[in-house]
Each structure stands twice: as structure tokens, then as C-alpha cells.
Amino acid sequence: MKKMIIQGGNRLSGEVTIGGAKNSTVALIPSAILADTPVQFDTVPDILDVHNLMIILESMNVHSSFKHGVLDIDPTQIIEAELPSKAIKSLRASYYFMGALLGRFHRATLTFPGGDNIGPRPIDQHLKAFEALGATVSENNGTVHLEAPNGLHGTRIFMDMVSVGATINAILAAVRAEGVTIIENAAREPEIVDLATFLNNMGAQIRGVGTDVIRITGVNSLQSMNTHTIIADRIESGTYLSLAAAMGDGVMINNVIPEHLEAYTSKLIEMGVDLKIDSDKIYVPKAEHLTAVHVKTMPYPGFATDLQQPLTPLMAKAAGVSTVVDTIYPKRVKHIPELQKMGMKIAAGDGKITIEHTDHFNGADVEAGEIRAGASLVITGLMADGQTVIHKADNILRGYDRIVWKLNRLNANVRIEDDEQD
């Protein structure tokens, strides 16, 4: 494991360019094995999840190369093989290989996936979708076996709850199934639209993405003709918006899709941050006299659960008491005891998080329990007096493209070292 060392107190200025969306990338890479041709992705974020997914691809004889944000994947020599459990367990999004392998080979065997521990995130909706399409599902000792010896057949799938992961897995399985599949109560996230755009450009017939009803007519073959450019990461965008408002003397954030951030930027404006929003960039001036806000996370287009923690340090600068109610992952509270070590007046109880105005933060030894908790610690560390050491920094590197380089370009003082605690 790595540790991140931050010397706090530096004011930030300059510009930063947002990378491709992590939550698109981790679905697009598994989806590439559905293609009958090599595929290429552009603006791929340089994050640990990408390198772990490449290890999983290699185990299936799918060769890939990653350089300067361009990822080439050649699935034309793919073989069925046991997938490496260490890489599978390191990221939850490896479960997209279930849908992709089921679509390609009509069977799949996967170790139960890992990733961030932010409370219960069962995959029952995924398995229900696979069964509806004609697969049998069995599970023993943490391994899931899927098999559809008679092939997959289009059907109507109703999601009992809105689930990004289950919607994506259903699309991956259905795109090469026989007949028409209709997914109702589907998730509407931009990353799902991005995935469908990639698949449609290869010849898939997916309609209705971005709404709660998706209609898929199965096809026999998918062939890539063009490079697919991944959309900008709205969670990375929101994280830099928060740290720019917290410690910036004027920061320009480039390669942003403002429409994907409206629930978030409206909260920043409500707090008193005078954002200058352009078509593909946002300027964050020095922010003073912030006021408390109340946040309730919701499925897209509501306020993203992944952005409640990155906003927390800014909330602590605001006058009054701010609150967060996370309806998606109520147990997403790993950041709270760590932020308390740094002096933040933050607590959880009765289903909500309360953040009181805090004048002063101190550097401390803390631990990034998961990606977005880590982001909140990074921002608070930049605001704090003295040195902050964030252990388990791999969790941050899993989700933020070249974060140390980007922060230091903004005048931060951040470095990564191997952690001797491990």
C-alpha cells in the first residue's frame, strides 16, 4: 500500500484538466470483450482500476496496451479462463465481466467482486436480470457460476431498485442476446449513456438510455470502427470544484460537462461560490462568506452519493450547520472519524451527517477507507496546518487520474510514498 503525504496551507491557483470518467471506463473495458474486432479508447484515466482490469483481460488472452491516455484492447484471440481472484477482489466493477462473458460465451464464473466497503451493495438485481435472460445462477464459497446453454433470449426486466451496476450488466448480457430486451426502472447515469454510445457505434441497437426504459434489440456481431472518447469524470470534476472553492485563489477546471453536474454546482452556488460556468469548463474564484447547505443524495440526475464526501470539507468552512442525508449508501461514513482527527466538527446520527463550522484544521495521520472518503481527506489535508499522512492511499489512486501531479501543478505540496505500516 501507498501513503499520501500533504503539507497543508498552500493556496491553490492555475488550471486542471479532468480525465475520462472512472465509472464509464470500468464498464467500457469489460464491454470490449463483446467485440469481434480490436477496440480503442481515448481519454482513459490513469488509475489503478484500469491496470487491474488489464490484468483480468490478459488472463483471457485479451491483449491490451495503455499509453498517453489511449487504451488498445484486442479481444479477437479471447479464450475462456479462470479470472485472477486478486484483481477481481480489488475492484467491485469487475462484476461487469459477468454480463460481458455471459453475452460472449453464454457462461461465466467469477469470484465475488471486491472494491470499496461502503455498506451493503448486493448483486441480486444483476443476477435477477441474468436469470430473466435465460441464465441459471449458482453460488458457492463466494464464487458465482452463470450458464445459459440454450443462449440468452430477450425479455422484460424490471429493476426492483434503481441500480447503475445492474443496468449496465443487463445491457452487456442483452446486447448480443436473441430478440428484444426491455429494461424498466433503469438507471439514467451519463456513464450508462457513454457505454451505450460505444456499443451502438459497433452495431448494437440500444435505445432509451438516459431514460428509465431501455430497449435493446440483440445483434450477432459487434465491430469497432472508431476510437471511443470517454466522457469527462463528473466525480473528479466535483472534487476539484470543492477543493478550488476551499483553498483556491482562482482555479480553472477544464474538460467538464456542466450538464452532468447541475445538482452539485447548484449547491456550490447556494453556498456562495460564484462559479463561472462555460460549455466545457468552470472557473472557481476565491470563495468567501460561505453559508451552510443541506444535501440529500439521489439517483441521477439528483445529487451523486460519490460527491457528498468531497463536498464535506467545504461545508465545514460555511457559517452554520450543514447536513447530508445519503439515501443511496447510508453507511458511507468512513471519512467521519478520520476528519474528526483533523479537527472537523462532524458527526453522524439519526440517518444524517452534520457538519458544523470549523475554523481550524490540523494535520494528522489518517486512513482512506475508500475512494471518496480519501478525497475528503485530501481536501482537508490541503486546508490543514502542518503535515497530513493518508494511509491506504491506493484507494485514492484507484479513482483519481494522476492526482498528485495535478494537485502539485495547482501549487499543492503532495507526494506518494510506500507505506511501511503494511
Among residues 46, 49, 74, 116, the one annotated as catalytic is 116
278 carries an active-site annotation: no
* Crossing angle of the two packed helices 22-31 and 164-174, in degrees rounded to 10: 20
Task: Specify whether the CB–CB gap between 240 and 251 falls below 8 A.
Answer: yes
**What is d(CA 316, CA 14) in angstroms, rounded to the nearest whole number?**
24
Would you say 120 is a known binding-site residue? no
Query: Is residue 310 marked as binding?
Result: no
Q: Is 326 among the annotated ligand-binding positions?
A: no
Cα separation values, 219 from 147, 157, 214, Å: 20, 18, 16
Asked if residue 121 belongs to a known ligand binding site, the reply is yes
23 is in an annotated binding site: yes
Report how far residue 197's alpha carbon sits from residue 190's, in angstroms, rounded to the nearest whole number: 10
Distances (CA, A) of 104 to 108, 110, 117: 9, 15, 30
> Which residues lie closer than 8 Å to 173 by C-beta, 6 or more apart?
98, 99, 100, 102, 103, 129, 130, 133, 135, 152
C-alpha cell at position 160? 426492483
- Do the annotations mark residue 123 as ligand-binding? yes
Q: What residues contact residue 228 under an 8 Å CB cut-off, 6+ apart?
A: 28, 39, 40, 41, 42, 197, 198, 201
Question: What does the alpha-carbon distance between residue 297 and residue 280 come to, in Å, rounded to a whole number?
Answer: 24
Residue 419, annotated ligand binder? Answer: no
413's CB contacts (< 8 A; 6+ apart) are 6, 7, 10
Cell of 231: 466522457
Give me the amino acid identity at 200: N
Confirm whether residue 124 is marked as ligand binding. yes
In the block, cell 484515466 appears at: 45
CB-based contacts of 259, cutoff 8 Å, min separation 6: none
Amino acid identity at 339: L
DSSP string of 169-222, one letter each residue: HHHHHHTTSBSEEEEES----HHHHHHHHHHHHTT-EEE-BTBSEEEEE--S--
* Residue list, annotated binding site for phosphoenolpyruvate: 22-23
Query: From the annotation, which residues make up the binding site?
Result: 22-23, 92, 121-125, 306, 328
Task: Enumerate the known binding-site residues for UDP-N-acetyl-alpha-D-glucosamine.
Answer: 92, 121-125, 306, 328
Active-site amino acid positions: 116
